[in-house]
Amino acid sequence: MNHNTGTTMRLFSGPLSMFGSKAEIALLEKGLDFELVMVPFGETYEPKHPEVLRVNPKRQVPVLIHGGLEIFDSTQIFEYLEDLKPAPALWPAEAAARAEARLLELKSDEVFFPHVIRLMGLQDRPEDPAAVAARAAAARFYEEMEVLAAARGHLAGAYFYADIAFYMAQLFAARMGAPMTGATPNLLRWRDEVTARPAVRDVVAAMAAFLASRGRPVPDFMPIPGA
């Protein structure tokens, strides 16, 4: 018996949290009921919400609380949601395909996204050698994903968590000056298809509204709230 049956989930995220957005999209794609708790961020972009601090020793969102279960990290949340509600499936059924899809999700977070992080302090210095190197590394990763998008339509065959992860990572890359370009037409098509998904549109539109409210640039592929 599931001890969490009938218990509302609470997802703690932030208005510009890439990893929180991943988890929120996954919950929406699964059709699960949840309460979204948006955590205000300070100047250091560190969540101060007491539940986040209590549950996650890394002091980061996302945090998911479901009855007596308290977990953090977007990938761990993905895994829990897949076990909790297997349909619609967001990992492949076959073992090797599932392992490959999980690896793609890991690479989005831990191979690609570090290049984006390097760009975060260099917005006013695009010609800094570190920024040039980070953009070049991002472009090489785009080329790798272009091959998959061309062959499969989506990164791991069908629409899976791997697509959610890389979609959010490339969104942040675009914000930091390393967008995808016409050099990867299949990846641009993939991005359009993912953007059109209702779950993705809802989450990304809210992020676009937050960026606009702060006078920050909004990448042109992000849906405009209410449009």
CATH number at residue 110: 1.20.1050.10
**Given a cut of 60, is residue 137 above it in pLDDT?**
yes
**Given a cut of 70, is residue 43 above it in pLDDT?**
no
Note down the domain range covering 113: 95-213
Fill in the amino acid letter for 78: F
Residue 123 maps to a domain = yes
User: Quick one: pLDDT at residue 76?
Assistant: 95
Higher pLDDT, 39 or 21: 21
Q: How confident is the model at residue 115 (pLDDT cuts 50, 70, 90)?
A: very high
Average pLDDT, the chain: 91
Q: What is the pTM of this model?
A: 0.92
Residue located via tokens 């999700």:
105
What percentage of the chain reaches a pLDDT higher than 70?
A: 93
Per-residue pLDDT tens over the stretch 4-27: 556 889 999 999 999 999 999 999
**Given a cut of 80, is residue 123 above it in pLDDT?**
no
| Average confidence (pLDDT) over 15-42 | 92
| Average confidence (pLDDT) over 180-208 | 97
Q: Clarify whether residues 118 and 78 are in a common domain.
A: no
Q: Helix (H, G, I), strand (E, B), or coil: what is residue 130?
A: helix
**Given a cut of 50, is residue 161 above it in pLDDT?**
yes
> What does the alpha-carbon distance between residue 186 and residue 184 come to, in Å, rounded to a whole number?
6
Q: Do 157 and 91 contact (CB within 8 A), yes or no?
A: no
Q: Clarify whether residues 29 and 130 are in a common domain.
A: no
Mean pLDDT is lowest, of 29-33, 57-61, 80-84, 113-117, for 57-61
| Order of strands across the sheet that contains 9-13 | 34-38, 9-13, 63-66, 69-72
| Average confidence (pLDDT) over 42-67 | 77
User: Quick one: pLDDT at residue 224?
Assistant: 76
> What does the alpha-carbon distance between residue 50 and residue 54 come to, in Å, rounded to a whole number?
6
* Both structure tokens of 9: 């989930």
Chain centre to alpha carbon of residue 82: 16
Q: Clarify whether residues 170 and 130 are in a common domain.
A: yes
| Average confidence (pLDDT) over 173-180 | 95
**Given a cut of 70, is residue 2 above it in pLDDT?**
no
Mean pLDDT is lowest, of 48-52, 116-120, 148-152, for 48-52
- Contact residues for 161 (Cβ-Cβ < 8 A; gap 6+): 26, 78, 82, 90, 91, 101, 102, 105
Residue 223 maps to a domain = no
User: Quick one: pLDDT at residue 6?
Assistant: 63
The phi and psi torsions of 192 (rounded to 5 degrees) equal -60, -40
> What does the alpha-carbon distance between residue 85 and residue 118 come to, in Å, rounded to a whole number?
36
Q: Clarify whether residues 101 and 208 are in a common domain.
A: yes
* Both structure tokens of 149: 């998008």
Fill in the amino acid letter for 10: R
**Given a cut of 50, is residue 136 above it in pLDDT?**
yes
Q: Clarify whether residues 115 and 176 are in a common domain.
A: yes
Q: How many other CB atoms sit within 10 Å of the CB of residue 14? A: 24
User: Quick one: pLDDT at residue 1?
Assistant: 33
Burial of 10 (0-12, 13-18, 19+ CB in 10 A): middle
Query: DSSP characters for 43-105?
Result: TT--B--HHHHHH-TT--S-EEEETTEEEESHHHHHHHHHHH--SS-SS-SSHHHHHHHHHHH
Q: Which of 42, 71, 52 is nearest to 13 (CA)?
A: 52
**Given a cut of 50, is residue 41 above it in pLDDT?**
yes
* Both structure tokens of 90: 């967001």
Pairing relationship of beta strands 63-66 and 34-38 according to DSSP bridges: unpaired
Residue 173 maps to a domain = yes
Q: Clarify whether residues 70 and 107 are in a common domain.
A: no
Q: How confident is the model at residue 125 (pLDDT cuts 50, 70, 90)?
A: confident
Specify the CATH number for the domain of residue 34. Answer: 3.40.30.10
